[in-house]
Amino acid sequence: MRQIHYTAWLLIALSSLLQILVFPLPGLYVLCWIAFAPLILALLRARTAGALEIDGTVNLGVAKPAQAFVLAYVSGILWYAGTCYWIYDTMRQYGGLSAPMALLALLLFCLYLGLYHGFFGLLLSLTVGPGRDIRRAFAAAPFLWVAVELARTRITGFPWNLLGTAQVDNISLSRITTLTGVYGISFEIMLVNVALAAAFIVPKRKRGLLLIASLVAAAVLQAGRLVDAPPLPRDHSALLVQQNLPVDANWTRDACNRTLQELIDLTEKAAHDQTSAESGTNQPSLIIWPESPAPFFTNDPLFRDPVSQMARDSHSWIVTGAIGSEPVAPGQASSQVFNSAALVTPEGNWISRYDKVHLVPFGEYLPFPSLFAFAGGLTKEVGAFQPGTSRAPLEADGTRLGVFICYESVFPDEVRQFAKNGAEVLVNLSNDGWYGDSGAYAQHLNQTRMRAVENDRWLLSATDTGVTASIDPYGRIVARLPRKQRAALPAPYALTSVTTFYTRHGDWFAFLCAIISAGVLLTRVILPRKARLTA
């Protein structure tokens, strides 16, 4: 755009690259403390015209709102393309799209979600106000970023890779999420980035001190990763079965029955081996099967009866992913189907079920079917699931299990509701085979681990292709299986009824940041404009 200095575009490119490198698979988490500083710097030193003087030092001018939006929008597009590139392979390999259409789907995805970066840039430029005092922009930036992350979570429904997730391995820092949720870490990270950006704008006599202070702050906060906590006690054991089934298999009845029997044999042998290895203990009291690509229906006797017999033989409670269904109701053309987790008693009775509440658009349901009718190859592959309506825990012999399915683990406020409703351990059933060997499976795992930290709960993650793991309340993986292997994991865990501040009050901190952001915009944009009109 006219009047945008070329260095602003270079800073945008640098920031985008650093943001991409922060998240798995590159996983250079330490870069989060500097990744957004070039973006902020670009927004506040963008124009060759209208240079700004601060304490006698002339700087390039602050970007106009439209310019700031475009600069940050480009950064968002690049960031999503670099971290969510796996959408292309998913749409190409499993969505039935041609290569050009899969590429178009990825592009549209980036163009849409990149808008949130753009809104951050726009809002940041507006906070400068008519007085062009960029100090208020620096103060507002962390609040604006958290407000935008909240909007991405609540409005778009895709809070993938919230910034704070980058520090899930930082035990000392991540504990603040028990108060603020992951947004508190996002705020801390942006605060350091703002200080670093400010060091390049303030007068030279102050620059060195601010630069050193910001880098020291980053080093001290990052050093939390070097601090570990002692192992937490665990007095329960579950058996997590990693099925390793291909998501694109052609499931005939014979293949389905054969696979089911193989999984039952594996489970029963693993349960027996676990009993033999742990002298003086009974067989595992809980067996968990993941969300499965196999067409296992809760109302199909060919699935129900063998699973019931497995429960009786192992004397264990069983949680299994399956396709739940309800009978045809009056006025309906067909029965309703759900992506479900069913609970089976040691006596083989199917007593309760969790139906996935937050479905994946274009995967488990098609939003606005008439609008997307043109995408025939994609819509043929989209499920017709109905959303569930309850996040009540499943109760197994007095133990309350907070079971949620796959993609639901990226929604902090939704997962915490299971703990608020009394869940003593969290259970995530997932089919990560859709991601292939991309970094998405690792991104998903980190987000799932953060839910354990926020709610101070053990979390059992049972996946089809990996990572299947037991995660402690510090977010540490205490036991795991290698990916893409059919195996069973003895998973230690413990129960807790402790309720964190975040579990009780949810996204209060993010909403507070949104309110403060609105207040800043009101005082910097709307009220001055009214004053000029009445003058």
Determine the pLDDT at residue 48: 55
Q: CA 36, CA 21: separation in Å to the nearest integer? A: 12
Determine the pLDDT at residue 62: 82
For residue 312, what are the CA distances in angstroms to 88, 263, 269, 334, 502? 44, 16, 14, 33, 39
DSSP state letters, 43-56? HHS-EEEEEEEETT
Determine the pLDDT at residue 428: 98
Q: CA 230, CA 159: separation in Å to the nearest integer? A: 31
Helix H or strand E segment including 403? strand 399-405
- Which stretches within 459-535 are classed as H helix? 501-505, 508-521, 527-534
In the block, tokens 């330490």 appear at: 30
Q: CA 77, CA 91: separation in Å to the nearest integer? A: 18
Determine the pLDDT at residue 204: 79
Distance from CA of residue 48 to its chain's centroid? 39
Q: CA 293, CA 434: separation in Å to the nearest integer? A: 10
Phi and psi at residue 367, to the nearest 5°? -70, 140
Which of 191, 195, 172 minimizes the C-alpha distance to 183?
191
Output the furthest CA–CA distance in the chain (Å, rounded): 85
Neighbours of 213 (CB within 10 A): 14
Determine the pLDDT at residue 459: 98
Q: CA 308, CA 318: separation in Å to the nearest integer? A: 9
Q: CA 217, CA 219: separation in Å to the nearest integer? A: 5
Beta-strand ranges (E) seen in 145-255 are 236-242
- State the distance between the two ends of the chain, measured CA to CA, in whole angstroms: 34
Tokens for 353, please give them. 């079920």
Specify the fold of 236-493.
Nitrilase/N-carbamoyl-D-aminoacid amidohydrolase (3.60.110)
* Structure-derived torsion over alpha carbons of residues 14, 17, 22, 27, reported in degrees to the nearest 10: -130
In the block, tokens 């390039």 appear at: 60
- The model's pTM is 0.92
Q: What is the DSSP letter of 385?
A: P
Q: CA 36, CA 148: separation in Å to the nearest integer? A: 14
Determine the pLDDT at residue 141: 96
Tokens for 404, please give them. 């949620």
Give 252: exposed, middle or buried? Use CB within 10 Å, 0-12, 13-18, 19+. Answer: exposed
Which of 305, 293, 317, 291 minimizes the C-alpha distance to 261?
305
Q: What is the pLDDT of residues 384-407, one digit of tens each?
A: 889 999 999 999 999 999 999 999
Distance from CA of residue 51 to its chain's centroid? 41
Q: Which residues of the chain have pLDDT under 50?
A: 50-59, 280-282, 376-381
Q: CA 84, CA 155: separation in Å to the nearest integer? A: 19
Distance from CA of residue 397 to its chain's centroid? 31
**Sequence spans of domains, the chain:** 6-228+508-534, 236-493
Which of 307, 316, 321, 319 minimizes the C-alpha distance to 271?
316
